[in-house]
Amino acid sequence: MTRQLELFLRVVDALSSLRYRRSLGDSSLDQRVRLLHSLERAPLLLIRRGVWGLRTLVFMGHYTQPSVVDRIGYRARAAGWDARR
Amino acid sequence: MTALSRDVVIIGSGAGGGTVASRVARLAAQGHSVLVLEQGPRFRDDEFTGQEVEMAGALYADRGGFLTADGTMTLAFARGYGGSTIVYTGTSLTAPERVIRRWDVPGLTYADVVERSRRYLVENNVHLLAPDRLNDNNQLFLEGAGRAGFRAEQFPLNLKGCRGSSLCNLGCPNAAKQGTNRVQLPNAERQGVEVVTRAEAQRVNERGVTVRVTPVPAGAKGLPSEWAPGDYDITAKLVVVAGGAIGTPSLLLRSRLPGLPHGVGRRFTAHPALVLVGQHPRPISNDVGHPKSFFVDRAAEERFVLETCMYFPFVTAKSLTGFGPDHGILMRDFSRLQMILVLACDRAIPGNRVTVDRLGRPVVHYRYTPEVIDAIVHATRAAAKIFFAAGTLRVHAPPADPPLIEAADRERLDELIQPRHFRAGRISISSAHLMGGAAMGRTSADSVTDSWGRVHGVPWLRVADASLFPDALEINPYVTVMALADRVADGLLSDFRSGTL
């Protein structure tokens, strides 16, 4: 799994270099988003799956951090309604 | 290898296995030995923390990331004392008459399913939530559906002492949900049924079951097994397989039993689902209160069902397509989000099935038919209409391109949401309604079991879970699983009484 992910990131980097003459990390936010959007719609299922897997891992790392969860206003608690009164 | 002997071995402790265990517990009281094997652990009540990744890792197969063979659908099923009843929302619906008729299983009548379902509606304290316990996420669905011309119905729920944590899918932290872990399994154990956790059935054979009991992994939640870790060879008069629509066919296939019907693994259906998100101009109550109180049933007419839902930040983020600002515009303020779950009512087709790999692990093959894609598209349009009628500013609809639809475009939904935008692998499709794989029917030529869960040609082997469904149920399945498991238990008791076993 890790090897597949590394390989996929290299492919994305290479595509970024081809399109923008910059690696993914060095391209602008707008360029990154456009590239990833196009890959998300790629005709090849393998590419779409790669993008989906990558973003799933990124979101898992980001949206499970307590500081992020607090910042976006997610407040579910075991105490449920009692915690809101 | 430790050799043991039991009269009845039940594999799985969810809606199917837990029900059989409870119904045949009288055999234990009469001196027969009844054993339940559960692959996952028992959890202490204080271990249900509601933390998303932590609980998904503890409760779900593959930490919640079990994928179909082509990687385009995530299948959610739990392992633990109570099986997937630990993580469902407790929505308790009885099978539709049209579905039972369409199944056309000899001996299985709608009246029988209704009567047996009723028993579990009572036993599990099923009722409607009072209006003052409904949150905005649910109320807005009800109001939006009414304004958009859809009839929303309230889900009966199997709760006792619900505090509205909204964390049902991560295991209720308040022991309120009346799953088999709260009702049927404790009842069975009180009468002498033995339940052994962390015990994975490796194979079934003519003599019984080979089982591997595993120790608690370092740092893992859950209690140690009741048995010492190691391999066990358990002889049994009768084996009931209730490992769910993935676990049961894969166990049967890797067991390579002589005479097993060829239909094992076939007729798999899943109600493919996707989460839609709408954004309101103001905060609403969404992450407090029961998450799933209403639904719109269009299964008979348009082959889809819409349900209220509320997921956790990571699952929500994963469910949205896109990156950067388009994604962040919704995720930056969770309190303004309304959610609807779209379920397509798929049909059993030849290619959609469960197989096993060289190591005997399950592999699920699933292809989205044009009918399923059409159902998802129609359901998404209907959900978007409900969102906008409820007052959302924008809706995220994955089968649209771009997926973010603003209120100003609400009259163009049919044009924007199109089958051609449905790209498997781009859209997060998931399923928690796994069905089929050991279907009931007439003979071994068209099915795996009869209507009592007896495997054709293998008299000592029974199936008692959602894998019995010959086709999709078109509603939330657990009550029907219990009703069918109740039949299997009756057949088993009858065989014991008559001395067949």
CA angle B327, B330, B332 (to 5 degrees): 95
- Is B423 in the A-facing interface, judged by CB distances under 8 Å? yes
Taking 80 as the threshold, does the pLDDT of residue A1 lie above it?
A: no
- Is A74 in the B-facing interface, judged by CB distances under 8 Å? yes
**What local confidence, expressed as pLDDT, does residue B497 receive?**
87
The residue type found at B413 is L
- Is B173 in the A-facing interface, judged by CB distances under 8 Å? yes
Q: Which DSSP string corresponds to B433-483?
A: --B-SS-B-SSTTT-SB-TTSBBTT-TTEEE-SGGG-SS--SS--HHHHHH
**What local confidence, expressed as pLDDT, does residue B331 receive?**
96
Pairwise CA distance, residues B366 & B363, whole Å = 10
- Is B424 in the A-facing interface, judged by CB distances under 8 Å? yes
**What local confidence, expressed as pLDDT, does residue B110 receive?**
98
Nearest CA in chain B to A44: B425
Nearest CA in chain B to A28: B324
CB proximity under 8 Å: B 320-379 to A: 321-326, 331-335
Burial class (CB in 10 A: 0-12, 13-18, 19+), A66: exposed
Q: Which two structure tokens, joined as six digits, stand for B264?
A: 């094992």
Tell me the residue length of chain A. 85
Pairwise CA distance, residues A82 & B265, whole Å = 46
Pairwise CA distance, residues B235 & B118, whole Å = 35
pTM of the predicted model over 0.90: yes
Helix (H, G, I), strand (E, B) or coil at B101: helix
Q: Per-residue pLDDT tens for B322-362?
A: 888 889 999 999 999 999 999 999 999 999 999 999 999 99
Across the interface, whether the CB atoms of B335 and A52 are under 8 A apart is answered no
- Give chain B's residues under pLDDT 70: none
Question: Nearest by CB to A64, which of B53, B323, B401?
Answer: B53
Nearest CA in chain A to B329: A72
**What's the gap in Å between the CA of A54 and the closest CA on chain B?**
11
In this complex, how many residue pairs, one in chain A and one in chain B, have their CB atoms less than 8 Å apart? 111
**What local confidence, expressed as pLDDT, does residue B324 receive?**
85
SS (H, E, C) B294-347: EEEEEHHHHCEEEEECCCCHHHHHHHCCCCHHHHHHHHCCHHHEEEEEEEECCC
Burial class (CB in 10 A: 0-12, 13-18, 19+), B237: middle
Tell me the residue length of chain B. 501
**What local confidence, expressed as pLDDT, does residue B206 receive?**
87
CB proximity under 8 Å: A 18-57 to B: 29, 32-33, 36-37, 40-41, 45, 48-49, 51-53, 55-56
**What local confidence, expressed as pLDDT, does residue A62 receive?**
95
Across the interface, whether the CB atoms of A63 and B314 are under 8 A apart is answered yes
**What local confidence, expressed as pLDDT, does residue B141 receive?**
98
CA B472 to chain centre: 12
**What local confidence, expressed as pLDDT, does residue B265 receive?**
98
Pairwise CA distance, residues B392 & B407, whole Å = 7
Q: Which two structure tokens, joined as six digits, stand for B337?
A: 């989000």
| B3, β-bridge pairs | B233
Pairwise CA distance, residues B58 & B78, whole Å = 9
- Is B425 in the A-facing interface, judged by CB distances under 8 Å? yes
**What local confidence, expressed as pLDDT, does residue B178 receive?**
98
**What local confidence, expressed as pLDDT, does residue B322 receive?**
85
Pairwise CA distance, residues B24 & B192, whole Å = 10
Looking up tokens 């379920």 gives B343
Nearest CA in chain B to A75: B287
The residue type found at B269 is T
Q: Which two structure tokens, joined as six digits, stand for B397?
A: 């609809």
- Report the DSSP pairing between strands B404-406 and B294-298: unpaired
Across the interface, whether the CB atoms of B288 and A52 are under 8 A apart is answered no
